């Protein structure tokens, strides 16, 4: 005869009725089963919902960090542009104040980087993508200021960049203009970087930077001749 039943615990005995859960056996057969021990399972840590408040705050912090970095990056480039222009031509034109000003304003207003970059390239005379009459001086200074000596993330010098950039190659007269100034390679890059760090650091540098940007805004509003 077979007997099936469901119980919580079993002990050493001969019993025809108290059988551990799931076992089936003949009566009068000795059964030796040790008392089962409670098993404690550690409750898994529940990760916060990706749409929760913490995740939102993390995204906002990341955006704010990139946002301020973009503003500083553009500002530093504007300063280098002005210093390069002065070294090459002996003085600063209105371009040194208005250069990349649209990017500064758009970043301050909170626009994303891709939008700012696309808008800027389509509306600036120092970018071939604009389709406007090119400003060769501005193109020269902008590309020198974007060289690895000032932007470590860049890998190509202006001379090397020109060889690979179809856009720049399409600008009539640019190649001879670049060659006239030897692609900016005669400039003292160390001196320019040192001057930037000396003049535009700390509170004095901040004040000068604000004046620089303000002058650019005023110049743009007055539409001063270039």
Least confident of 20-29, 161-170, 211-220: 20-29
Question: What is the number of other CB atoms lying within 10 angstroms of the CB of residue 221?
Answer: 8
- pLDDT tens-digit series, residues 106-137: 998 989 999 999 999 999 999 999 988 999 99
| Contacting residues for 5 by C-beta, under 8 A, at least 6 apart | 17, 18, 19
Q: Give the Cα separation of 34 and 201 in Å (integer).
A: 78
Please give the pLDDT value at position 5.
46
Mean pLDDT of 136-149: 96
Tell me the chain's radius of gyration from C-alpha atoms: 36
More confident residue, 11 or 162: 162
DSSP state of 133: P
Full DSSP string of 21-87: TT--EETT--B--PPPPP---PPPPPPPPTTSHHHHHHHHHHHHHHHHHHHHHHHHHHHHHHHHHHH
- pLDDT tens-digit series, residues 50-101: 557 776 766 666 666 777 888 889 999 999 999 999 999 999 998 988 999 9
């Amino acid at each position: 005869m077979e007997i099936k039943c469901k119980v919580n615990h079993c002990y050493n005995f001969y019993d025809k009725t108290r059988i551990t859960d799931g076992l089936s056996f003949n009566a009068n057969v000795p059964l030796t089963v040790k008392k089962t021990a409670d098993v404690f399972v550690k409750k898994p840590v529940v990760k916060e919902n990706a749409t929760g408040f913490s995740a939102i705050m993390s995204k906002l912090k990341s955006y704010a960090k990139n946002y301020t970095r973009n503003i500083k990056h553009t500002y530093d480039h504007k300063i280098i542009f002005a210093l390069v222009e002065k070294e090459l031509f002996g003085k600063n034109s209105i371009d040194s104040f208005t250069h990349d000003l649209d990017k500064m304003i758009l970043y301050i207003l909170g626009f994303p980087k891709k939008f700012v970059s696309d808008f800027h390239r389509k509306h600036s005379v120092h970018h071939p993508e604009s389709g406007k009459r090119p400003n060769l001086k501005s193109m020269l200074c902008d590309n020198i200021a974007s060289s690895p000596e000032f932007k470590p993330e860049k890998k190509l010098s202006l001379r090397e960049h020109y060889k690979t950039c179809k856009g720049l190659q399409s600008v009539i007269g640019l190649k001879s203009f670049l060659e006239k100034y030897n692609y900016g390679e005669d400039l003292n890059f160390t001196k320019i970087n040192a001057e930037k760090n000396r003049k535009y650091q700390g509170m004095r540098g901040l004040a000068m930077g604000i004046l620089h940007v303000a002058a650019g805004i005023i110049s743009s509003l007055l539409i001063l001749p270039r």
